[in-house]
């Protein structure tokens, strides 16, 4: 696999604010790569550095082996789907999509033909004459996608592209983006603060916090083997077990993470726990339990007998599901 994107010690500081601080990162060609993190964690800055809207304060960026610092956005074969789509309000849909071709001097007939094809790819054929303002959020999203893809970029950047859509549409668009990625075979870099989105769509995920990447890995690795408490907590609201508790169980004084769905009710053995609260989520039910001074989240399938708040229960888990974390903090 060849490298599409390489960051070496890249920083972007705004005065005293370190939006991005000495980040190393490698994204491979054809990957669907997610940048995940809370707002202000540096993931969007990272994307803007790739697009060329920002220049690094320090460090080195390579896109397909070429140095990217100092290259303006209009000379990068990288295109962006913007968070709020950034469609041109004075142009209709087809002219929005054909904009990149128009700029490159492609003739009217040819660029409209290409734009129509791009609209077909995102299932918007025949809407070319509409204005951006006349479209629904989902449609605008697709226009933005078609517009970004018409220049045939080697890397497509997506900045929280599904953030403004409602849940059902979001799930549908996730599928479509995945299909599109398979179909085109180009590198997708996707910024999101939604861990479910990142886990379900990406080949690999980089988790950002405070301007640094705290972990990079496949969704399974990130979910099952978080390296720090932040990762465990941010991805899938894991139970974080303190060193004393872990030491009593496995003899090692380390922080550990335990996924809520790994905990089960037991007839005997395990730990004594008291149900503090229970909330029904449809397919599953989330219980909050207290074990001594520890609070644990437990996710049970709703088919089971769910204990009510105040009940005493016994819980247990497979010791393999308890993941000891490398990082102390």
Binding residues for other proteins, per CB under 8 A?
51-53, 72-74, 78-80, 82-84, 86-90, 99-100, 102-104, 131, 147-148, 151
Q: 101 in helix, strand or coil?
A: helix
Kindly state the smallest distance separating residue 2's Cβ from other proteins, in Å.
Answer: 24
Dihedral sign (CA 285, 217, 148, 81): positive
- In degrees, rounded to 5, the angle at the alpha carbon of residue 89 between the alpha carbons of residues 175 and 116 is 50
Residue 226: partners with Cβ closer than 8 Å, 6 or more residues away: 215, 232, 235, 238, 257, 323, 325
Q: Can you read off the two tokens belonging to residue 312?
A: 């005493």
Is residue 66 within 8 A of residue 57, CB to CB? The reply is no
Instruction: Encode burial over 302-327: b for 16+ CB neighbours within 10 A, e otherwise.
Output: eeeebbeeeeebebebeeeebbebee
Q: How far is the CB of 89 from other proteins (least distance, A)?
A: 5
Task: Evaluate whether 260 touches 237 at the Cβ level (below 8 Å).
Answer: yes
Concatenating the DSSP letter of every residue in 52-78 gives TSS--SEEEEEETTEE-TT--GGGSSE
Cα 103 vs. chain centroid, distance in angstroms?
Answer: 32
Residue whose tokens read 């997708």: 188
CB 120 within 8 Å of CB 196: no
């Amino acid at each position: 696999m060849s490298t599409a994107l390489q960051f070496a010690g890249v920083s972007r500081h705004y005065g005293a604010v370190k939006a991005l601080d000495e980040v190393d990162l490698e994204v491979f060609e054809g990957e669907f790569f997610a940048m995940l993190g809370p707002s202000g964690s540096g993931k969007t800055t990272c994307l803007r550095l790739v697009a060329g809207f920002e220049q690094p304060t320090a460090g080195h960026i390579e896109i397909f082996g070429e140095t990217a610092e100092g290259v303006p956005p209009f000379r990068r074969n990288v295109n962006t789907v913007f968070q709020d789509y950034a469609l041109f309000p004075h142009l209709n849909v087809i002219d929005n999509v054909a904009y990149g071709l128009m700029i490159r001097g492609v003739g009217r007939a040819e660029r409209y033909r290409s734009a129509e094809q791009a609209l077909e790819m995102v299932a918007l054929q025949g809407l070319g004459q509409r204005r951006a303002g006349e479209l629904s959020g989902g449609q605008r999203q697709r226009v933005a996608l078609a517009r970004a893809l018409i220049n045939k970029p080697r890397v497509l950047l997506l900045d929280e592209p599904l953030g403004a859509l409602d849940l059902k549409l979001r799930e549908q668009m996730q599928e479509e983006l995945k299909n599109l990625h398979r179909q085109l075979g180009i590198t997708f870099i996707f910024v999101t603060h939604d861990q479910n989105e990142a886990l379900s769509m990406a080949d690999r995920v980089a988790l950002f916090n405070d301007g640094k990447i705290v972990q990079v890995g496949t969704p399974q690795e990130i979910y099952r083997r978080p390296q720090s408490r932040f990762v465990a907590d941010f991805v899938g609201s894991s139970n974080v077990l303190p060193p004393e508790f872990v030491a009593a169980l496995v003899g090692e004084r380390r922080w550990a993470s335990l996924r809520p769905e790994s905990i089960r009710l037991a007839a005997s053995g395990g730990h004594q726990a008291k149900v503090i609260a229970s909330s029904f989520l449809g397919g599953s039910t989330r219980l909050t339990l207290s074990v001594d001074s520890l609070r644990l989240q437990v996710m049970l399938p709703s088919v089971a007998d769910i204990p009510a708040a105040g009940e005493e229960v016994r819980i247990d888990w497979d010791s393999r599901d308890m993941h000891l974390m490398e990082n102390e903090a």
